Amino acid sequence: MLSLEDNERLTRVGAGTPMGELMRRYWIPAAFSDAIAKPDSSPQRVRLMGESLVLFRDSGGRIGLLEERCPHRTASLFYGRNEQGGLRCVYHGLKFDVEGNCVDAPCVPQVGDVQLRNIKNQLKTRSYPCIERGEMVWTYMGPPELKPVFPDLEWTKLPKAQRYATRHVQECNYLQGIEGGFDATHLTFLHGGDTEPSRRIVPTHYEVLPTDFGFVVGTGREPGNGTIMWNVNVMLMPFHKIISSVPHAAHVWAPIDDENTMLYSIDFHPDRALTEDDLTRSKEGRGIHTENVAGTDHAIRNRANDYLIDRDLQASGASYTGMKGLGTQDCAIQESMGPIADRSAEHLLACDAAIVKIRRLMLQTLKDHATGKPLPGMNPRSYRVRSMRCEAPSGTPFAETMISRVRIDSEAAE
């Protein structure tokens, strides 16, 4: 179990909280680029890290992410006019550029230039820098002087044809998603019947190794021939998972606030375009992707309708859960724990060894951040890693078998 105090430290993401301040040191996905595809297109609401923001692309194509409240009378800038290089509040006509500067104040009576500049300085609003990578908008919400270079996250560097990405709102804290993602034993049960036979063997080996990018989680299954079949999944700090699947896949659990998460799911192939055969399972909602209500980020199968569970299908044995798709199954269980799971009420078992190690590593990272020690993933090249599957002789140390294999060749990654 985890103490209530440590649970709070790991799960709270608002400004000023230990985990919130840690996550703000990294680039965070805010939206798909096509949400603001054209200059002066409609602004979009973004809820991220407990903050209500508004995203827009100005007349020159620059991206702005501003606090949603106008600093004048706190009206929502979501209703603003995106025009002539800035976002204009429709309440009193104040206009702000992508850096949050007030560039026009037509509601202010005739005053001197110095007085007008002072007024505009007082009206400067919070803004966060944004960049685009992999047809997604990413933002940095931490101290400007500590802003890192965007990391070499492989799937963001591939041509669009080699990547398929979706997202949906998960109604629980981000940590429930991450822990579920790295809980290997559930593949045998929760996803029973929906995964390949090799993953239905109950694992007997659990390894977690800290790295300069986060950690590597190894789950070993013994097929009975003197070897161990390893599934090796990669955690890139603070909320990325590179999944050991074919084609390659990834998750990003971007906190909306303490009790909601935007889950990005990505299929990708580093060497070729994805084919329709590659994507059939994903587009039908049978894999890690969910089917959403048209025009929204909300899954069709959700908590309000009990994920459309089919009890007859469950009883038939054709599906362990009676719920369609790995993504739906994961969300159903993770959301069933409540908005923020009470980990002090758990009774952990031997199969939870990886979960225990992950929590310890994340708590240690919080301590390192508090004392100013270097954080994992700050070197952009440290993200040049892949998940993998392999078979190794029993008795071979996990570290010896794995770490040298997950690194991507530096030249090949360029």
Could you tell me the residue range of the domain that residue 79 belongs to?
27-146
Last residue of a domain, one of 125, 146, 167: 146
Same domain for 185 and 272?
yes
For 90-129, the pLDDT digits (tens) are 999 999 999 999 999 999 987 888 888 898 999 999 999 9
For 323-351, the pLDDT digits (tens) are 999 999 999 999 999 999 999 999 999 88
The enclosing domain of 64 has a CATH number of 2.102.10.10
Q: How many CB atoms lie within 10 A of CB 101?
A: 15
Same domain for 102 and 165?
no
For residue 174, being part of any structural domain is answered with: yes
pTM of the entire structure? 0.94
Cα gap 46→36, rounded to integer Å: 12
Q: Please count the structural domains in the chain.
A: 2
For residue 5, being part of any structural domain is answered with: no
Nearest to 56 by CA among 123, 139, 147: 139
Three-point CA angle 332, 334, 339, nearest 5°: 110
pLDDT at 376: 94
Last residue of a domain, one of 146, 164, 186: 146
For residue 6, being part of any structural domain is answered with: no
Identify the DSSP state of 323.
-
Q: How many Cα atoms within 13 Å fall on the side-chain side of residue 141?
A: 26
3-state secondary structure (DSSP) of residue 361:
helix
Same domain for 62 and 114?
yes
Cα gap 406→155, rounded to integer Å: 15
For 260-302, the pLDDT digits (tens) are 999 999 999 999 999 999 999 999 999 999 999 999 999 999 9
Same domain for 176 and 137?
no
